[in-house]
């Protein structure tokens, strides 16, 4: 990859994240799992997200920042995280006052509290040089140096001896065994500088990779890379169809994934001066299709009813078998999918969000191309999956784009029915991202531009018809000297289908467990979109049930946090397995009156 990448290190937390596109400090921190105070929703108006740029250059001071500095609300060495854009290596210091009080490190917090207990450890081996009188074989010598250690099978012993037999002769019969519990992964003659692990959350759109210190439990570096499978289809169904074309296509979807993970891992270890071959343990989560693509399992069966996965239990697969670079003999923990369309990423999300730990009435939603929803009440946890499509990620929306510089991220509509837009980076708008779309729909509904059935009001002065007779609403008008940005009836329909899919899923789970909206104690929203989403508007348009806003919490990449928990702690892996057993999966399509729930879900 010749792609431009740069890393941002956050102090005093000590996490380093790699990016490939210009990004605000606020968003960069979100991706690192750090939630900064942002009472104004990143509009640059509350001044709470102050940070210090310790190293590296950044975008010039904005008007808002100049105002805050003049007013003494921002120190001379501080910037607003939401207004500052980075495009090269930087080190950021976050004053404790800027950390979100309510949501301080939602998932990172869980990571901090986990009892780190990785199965990976190092044993020093002092062997006896063989003599003609006692010509002990190398294998005996290794195993007798530390009784109790063993190779999982003779193939593993063979791989190790091929490498180590010549080396131990040069190194005075001293060596180090890297073990998972008592199982020897490999033997080396130099003491490992550290024990590294890699946690991976394979999303349909993005792959999140975390390089972990297995001893301290610290996240050493993190990186999100695009899922290269996008080239073969935007959503899972398209990729499953592509895989059905033949073995070569299926193989390509597998190998592209592995290559992307290996490249990300290489970049991560580079930031700490290590090698990918030092990574001793892995945990991989993802939806069921990603799980199968990753393991190179047949995927045709995931595309047709009854959508049976080939493997459902947690597996331990040799990294070498899969082609993932790592320590010789290392294994990848691959938690099993819960069902055909509810993957181990959802399990990881639930694990990191405390499902199964208490009896709190808790709703968990992971919004993506497929949205997974879980509801807990007492001892029961029920989950479902719904095809919400990529509209919230800006796909299939005419001016849709990702949340990056130039995207409209917030919209308010004034008394005249005219939109006021907040653009990321404060420059000219080039499109609109998911949170902006949600705001727009909510505001259009409030101001009557959209009726309850989601139709645009033809009478409004900002509504017009395009050449094909499709109505649209002008967010930004060319007549104001700006680039024209619109939302068409088609765009709105896409969004309503997506929100309808999510709402009907939630409603069916609530119906199943007989939970009323006011009973819900906690709503956790995971995923990139969840961090942007304005809970007020989400309730206004009927995407979320009507709960107190304070109960709604964005938890960032909770699946990635769950994967890290499982990597760091055997107890957490056991908890995850137990949780997977407990979760009841519900097939929405087979639910009585499903169509009615869906029709209601679409309404505004």
Q: How far is it, in rounded angstroms, from Cα 28 to Cα 90?
A: 11
Instruction: Please identify which residue in 173, 176, 307, 536 interacts with its own copies, judged by CB under 8 A.
Output: 307
Write down the residue that tokens 């990918």 correspond to.
276
Name the burial class of residue 550, with classes exposed (0-12), middle (13-18) and buried (19+) by CB atoms within 10 angstroms of its CB: exposed
Check binding of 181 to its own copies (CB under 8 A): no
Q: How far is the CB of 111 from its own copies (least distance, A)?
A: 27
Contacts of 581 (CB under 8 A, 6+ apart): none
User: Within 10 A of 226 (CB to CB), how many other CB atoms are there?
Assistant: 14
Contact positions with its own copies (CB under 8 A) in 193-222: none
Instruction: Please identify which residue in 3, 115, 144, 155 interacts with its own copies, judged by CB under 8 A.
Output: 155
Instruction: Please identify which residue in 4, 63, 117, 300 interacts with its own copies, judged by CB under 8 A.
Output: 300
Check binding of 317 to its own copies (CB under 8 A): yes
The site that binds its own copies (CB under 8 A) totals a number of residues, namely: 45
DSSP-derived pairing of the beta strands 362-366 and 522-526: parallel
Closest CB to its own copies among 138 and 267? 138
Q: How far is it, in rounded angstroms, from Cα 43 to Cα 22?
A: 18
Q: How far is it, in rounded angstroms, from Cα 275 to Cα 277?
A: 5
Instruction: Please identify which residue in 309, 343, 527, 542 interacts with its own copies, judged by CB under 8 A.
Output: 309
Q: How far is the CB of 91 from its own copies (least distance, A)?
A: 41
Q: How far is the CB of 311 from its own copies (least distance, A)?
A: 5
Check binding of 144 to its own copies (CB under 8 A): no
Name the burial class of residue 93, with classes exposed (0-12), middle (13-18) and buried (19+) by CB atoms within 10 angstroms of its CB: middle
- H or E segment to which residue 562 belongs: helix 558-568
Q: Please state the φ and ψ torsions of residue 6, each to the nearest 5 degrees.
A: -150, 160
Q: How far is the CB of 33 from its own copies (least distance, A)?
A: 30
Closest CB to its own copies among 63 and 300? 300
Instruction: Please identify which residue in 54, 231, 316, 360 interacts with its own copies, judged by CB under 8 A.
Output: 316
Radius of gyration of the chain from its Cα atoms, rounded to whole angstroms: 26
Residue in 208, 210, 260 with CA at minimum distance from that of residue 230:
260
Q: Is the peptide bond before 12 cis (omega within 30 degrees of 0)?
A: yes
Check binding of 132 to its own copies (CB under 8 A): yes
Pair 90, 8: CB distance under 8 Å: yes
Instruction: Please identify which residue in 215, 315, 577, 600 interacts with its own copies, judged by CB under 8 A.
Output: 315
Instruction: Please identify which residue in 14, 60, 166, 448 interacts with its own copies, judged by CB under 8 A.
Output: 166
The secondary structure of residue 129, as a DSSP letter, is: P
Region from 116-124, 268-276, 296-304, 484-492 binding its own copies, contact rule CB under 8 A: 296-304
What b/e readout covers 71-85, taking b as 16+ CB neighbours within 10 angstroms?
A: eeebeeebbbbbbbb
Check binding of 71 to its own copies (CB under 8 A): no
Contact positions with its own copies (CB under 8 A) in 328-367: 336, 339-340
Check binding of 174 to its own copies (CB under 8 A): no
Check binding of 321 to its own copies (CB under 8 A): yes
Instruction: Please identify which residue in 39, 55, 154, 511 interacts with its own copies, judged by CB under 8 A.
Output: 154
What b/e readout covers 183-196, taking b as 16+ CB neighbours within 10 angstroms?
A: bbbbbbbeebeebb
Contact positions with its own copies (CB under 8 A) in 549-588: 587
Closest CB to its own copies among 13 and 145? 145
Instruction: Please identify which residue in 238, 258, 303, 311 interacts with its own copies, judged by CB under 8 A.
Output: 311
Altogether, the residues listed in the chain come to a count of: 604
As a whole number of Å, the end-to-end CA separation of the chain is 44
Q: How far is the CB of 470 from its own copies (least distance, A)?
A: 38
Write down the residue that tokens 């029915």 correspond to.
417
- H or E segment to which residue 322 belongs: helix 319-322
Check binding of 126 to its own copies (CB under 8 A): no
Check binding of 290 to its own copies (CB under 8 A): no
Closest CB to its own copies among 166 and 448? 166
Q: How far is the CB of 268 from its own copies (least distance, A)?
A: 25
Q: How far is it, in rounded angstroms, from Cα 475 to Cα 455?
A: 16
Q: Is the peptide bond before 522 cis (omega within 30 degrees of 0)?
A: no
Pair 158, 176: CB distance under 8 Å: no
Instruction: Please identify which residue in 63, 169, 420, 465 interacts with its own copies, judged by CB under 8 A.
Output: 169
Closest CB to its own copies among 169 and 259? 169
Q: How far is it, in rounded angstroms, from Cα 70 to Cα 54?
A: 21
Side-chain-side CA neighbours of residue 139 (13 Å): 12
Check binding of 420 to its own copies (CB under 8 A): no
Check binding of 136 to its own copies (CB under 8 A): yes
Q: How far is it, in rounded angstroms, from Cα 346 to Cα 340?
A: 12
Closest CB to its own copies among 302 and 437? 302
Check binding of 67 to its own copies (CB under 8 A): no
Check binding of 415 to its own copies (CB under 8 A): no
Check binding of 372 to its own copies (CB under 8 A): no
Q: How far is the CB of 355 from its own copies (least distance, A)?
A: 21
Largest CA distance in the chain: 102
Region from 82-90, 207-215, 293-301, 376-384 binding its own copies, contact rule CB under 8 A: 293-301
Q: Point out which residues bind its own copies (CB under 8 A).
A: 130-132, 135-140, 152-155, 157-158, 161-162, 165-166, 169, 295-298, 300-301, 305-313, 315-318, 321, 336, 339-340, 587, 590
């Amino acid at each position: 990859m010749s792609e431009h990448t740069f890393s941002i290190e956050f102090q005093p937390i000590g996490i380093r994240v790699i990016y490939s596109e210009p990004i605000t400090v606020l968003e960069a921190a979100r991706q690192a799992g750090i939630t900064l105070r942002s009472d104004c929703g990143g509009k640059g108006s509350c001044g709470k997200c102050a940070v210090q740029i310790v190293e590296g250059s950044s975008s010039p001071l904005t008007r808002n920042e100049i105002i805050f500095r003049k007013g003494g609300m921002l120190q001379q060495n501080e910037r607003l995280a939401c207004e500052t854009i980075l495009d090269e290596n930087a080190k950021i210091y976050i004053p404790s006052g800027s950390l979100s009080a309510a949501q301080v490190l939602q998932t990172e917090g869980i990571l901090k509290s986990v009892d780190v207990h990785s199965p990976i450890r190092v044993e020093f081996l002092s062997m006896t040089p063989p003599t003609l009188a006692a010509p002990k074989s190398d294998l005996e010598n290794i195993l007798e140096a530390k009784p109790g250690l063993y190779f999982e099978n003779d193939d593993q012993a063979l791989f190790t001896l091929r490498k180590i037999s010549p080396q131990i002769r040069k190194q005075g019969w001293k060596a180090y065994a890297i073990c998972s519990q008592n199982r020897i992964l490999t033997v080396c003659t130099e003491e490992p500088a550290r024990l590294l692990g890699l946690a991976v959350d394979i999303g349909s759109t993005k792959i999140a990779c975390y390089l972990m210190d297995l001893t301290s439990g610290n996240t050493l570096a993190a990186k999100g890379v695009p899922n290269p499978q996008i080239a073969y289809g935007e959503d899972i169904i398209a990729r499953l169809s592509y895989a059905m074309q033949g073995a070569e296509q299926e193989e390509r979807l597998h190998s592209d994934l592995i290559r992307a993970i290996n490249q990300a891992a290489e970049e991560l270890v580079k930031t700490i001066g290590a090698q990918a071959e030092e990574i001793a343990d892995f945990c991989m989560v993802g939806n069921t299709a990603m799980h199968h693509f990753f393991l190179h399992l047949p995927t045709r069966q995931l595309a047709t009813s009854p959508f049976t996965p080939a493997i459902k239990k947690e597996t331990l697969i040799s990294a070498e078998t899969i082609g993932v670079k790592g320590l010789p003999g290392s294994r990848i923990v691959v938690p099993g999918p819960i069902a055909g369309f509810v993957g181990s990423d959802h399990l990881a999300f639930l694990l990191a969000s405390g499902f199964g730990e208490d009896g709190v009435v808790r709703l968990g939603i992971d919004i993506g191309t497929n949205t997974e929803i879980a509801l807990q009440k007492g001892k029961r946890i029920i989950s479902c999956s719904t095809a919400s499509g990529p509209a919230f990620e800006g796909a299939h929306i005419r001016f849709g784009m990702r949340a990056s510089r130039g995207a409209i991220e917030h919209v308010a509509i004034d008394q005249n029915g005219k939109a006021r837009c907040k653009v990321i980076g404060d420059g000219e708008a080039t499109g609109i991202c998911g949170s902006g779309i949600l705001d727009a729909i909510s505001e259009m509904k409030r101001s009557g531009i959209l009726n309850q059935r989601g139709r645009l009001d033809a009478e409004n002065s900002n509504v017009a018809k395009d050449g094909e007779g499709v109505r649209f609403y002008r967010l930004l008008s060319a007549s104001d000297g700006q680039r024209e940005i619109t939302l068409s009836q088609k765009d709105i329909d896409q969004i309503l289908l997506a929100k309808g899919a999510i709402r009907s899923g939630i409603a069916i789970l609530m119906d199943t467990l007989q939970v009323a909206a006011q009973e819900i104690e906690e709503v956790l929203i995971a995923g990139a979109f969840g961090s942007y989403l304005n809970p007020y508007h989400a309730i206004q348009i009927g995407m979320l049930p009507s709960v107190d806003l304070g109960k709604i919490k964005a938890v960032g990449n909770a699946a990635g946090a769950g994967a890290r928990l499982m990597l760091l702690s055997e107890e957490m892996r056991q908890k995850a397995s137990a949780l997977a057993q407990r979760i009841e999966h519900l097939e929405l399509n087979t639910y009585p009156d499903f169509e009615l729930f869906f029709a209601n879900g679409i309404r505004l």
